[in-house]
Amino acid sequence: MATILNVRNVNKTYQSAGKVLSVLENINFEIEAGSTVSIVGPSGSGKTTLLGLCAGLDRCTSGHIELNNINLDSLSEDKRAQVRNQYVGFIFQNFQLLPTLTALENVMVPLELRGEKNIRNKSIELLEKVGLSNRGHHYPAQLSGGEQQRVSLARAFSNSPRILFADEPTGNLDAETGEKIQKLLFELNRDAGTTLVLVTHDLELASKTQRIIRLKGGQVISDELTHQALSINS
């Protein structure tokens, strides 16, 4: 399988109170297209920072990150925005829907940006897939947390991304709703054949992906296949 994400010798440091604070140290891994990977670790281990770097939201201090064979380090912020629009989908812990847009409009935005046609129908279809066909004209504030995350899922898949980054997608939801969202996420991901990179501290959720990368103190302490991968391989 082709590599969709290649992380090589990545370091990330910040200046804090005149001192250099190292958040990530010498991170190396590759992710194959179509696979599902979890990045887990305790709070402060650097997992969200790593997600930001992999998704092209930030630049690493040293090292290289290639996404879909594009070296992100050499790109300007606007070029990286184009990369995100074309190849990347996002799901956030706090949903991050645009509050002034309806659910349908939120789903439409990535497609509108690409200048695609027949956007509305495609977005309505996606909302149907997440079970919100009748809530398209509601604003985020009028939706429950679970509904907002479903809209977020529809938006994430709307531009048919090659890779989907999800930051604690169920972190703000109760167990039952969280379960439903997890199910929907994996279903949609499987149907679209998208690579899924999941950041979570929920080991149960992580175990549903094929591979778990464990971080601690800004370093990868383990990189293992889960029984999911094993069952697929077998």
Partner 1 sequence: MYESNLPQKMPLNFSWILKMAWRDSRKNRSRLFLFISSIILGIAALVAIYSFGDNLNKDIDKQAATLIGADLAVFSNRPLSPKALKLLDSLKTLNPKISKEQSFASMILFPKSQGTRLVNVRALSGSFPYYGDLETTPISASQTFRTRTDALVDKTLMLQFNAKVGDSIKVGKVTFKIAGILNKAPGQTGLSSSVAPAVFIPLQFLEKTGLSQKGSRINYNFYYQFPESTDVNKLAKKLDAPFEKEDVNYDTIATKKENTGKSFGDLTKFLSLVGFIALLLGCIGVASSIHIYVREKINTIAVLRCLGVSSRQAFLIYIVQIVGIGFMGSIIGCILGTLIQQILPIVLKDFLPLEITSHISGFAIFQGLILGVLISLLFALLPLISIRNISPLNTLRISFAETSLFKDKLKWLVYGLILLFITSFARLQLQNWLQTLYFTAGILVAFFILYGIAALVVWLVRRFFPASWSYLWRQGLSNLFRPNNQTVILVVSIGLGTALIGTLFFVQDILISRVSLSSSNNQPNMILFDIQSTQKNAVATLTKKQGLPVIQEVPVITIKLDEINGHTAADAKKDSTLNLSKHVFSREYRTTFRDTLTNSETITAGKWLGHVKDINDTARVSIEEGYAKRFNLNVGDRLVFNVQGLPVPAIVGSLRKVDWSKVQTNFIVLFPKGVIDEAPQFNVLVTRVPNNKKSAEYQQQIVTKFPNVSVIDLALVLSVVDEILDKISFVIRFMAGFSIITGLIVLIASVMISKYQRIQESVLLRTLGASRKQIFTITSLEYFFLGAISALTGLIIALAGSWALAAFSFETAFKPDLLLIFGLFTTITSLTVFIGLFNSRGIVNRPPLEVLRKDV
On the CB side of 230, CA atoms within 13 Å amount to 6
Tell me the closest approach of the beta carbon of residue 221 to partner 1, in angstroms. 22
Minimum distance from residue 159 beta carbon to partner 1 (Å): 8
By the rule CB under 8 A, 1 interacts with partner 1: no
Position 68 contacts partner 1 (CB under 8 A): yes
CA-based torsion, 80, 86, 89, 90: positive or negative: positive
Nearer to partner 1, 10 or 57 (CB): 57
User: Distance between CA atoms of 9 and 51, rounded to whole angstroms?
Assistant: 15
Stretch that binds partner 1, among 111-119, 130-138, 185-193, 214-222 (CB under 8 A): 111-119
Contact window for partner 1 (CB under 8 A) among 23-31, 84-92, 178-186, 206-214: 84-92
Strands of 17-150, DSSP E = 19-32, 36-40, 62-67, 70-71, 88-91
* Residue located via tokens 């930051």: 167
Beta carbon nearer to partner 1, 82 or 172: 82
**Minimum CB distance to partner 1, residue 228 (Å):** 26
Comparison of 48 and 200: residue with beta carbon closer to partner 1: 48
Q: Which is nearer to partner 1, 113 or 192 (CB)?
A: 113
Write the binding mask 138 to 167 for partner 1: x where contact by CB under 8 A, - elsewhere.
-----------------x---x-------x
Q: What's the CA gap between 150 and 181, in Å, rounded?
A: 7
Strand partners, 37: 197, 211
Residue 92 binds partner 1, judged by CB under 8 A = yes
Measure the CA dihedral 108/143/157/203, to 10°: 160
Q: Which of 223, 226, 231, 191 is nearest to 205 (CA)?
A: 226
Using DSSP's 3-state secondary structure scheme, residue 205 falls into: helix
Q: Is 98 in the site for partner 1 (CB under 8 A)?
A: yes
Interaction between residue 85 and partner 1 (CB under 8 A): yes
- Which of 9, 28, 100, 142 is in the footprint of partner 1 by CB under 8 A? 100
Contact flag: residue 18 with partner 1 (CB under 8 A):
no
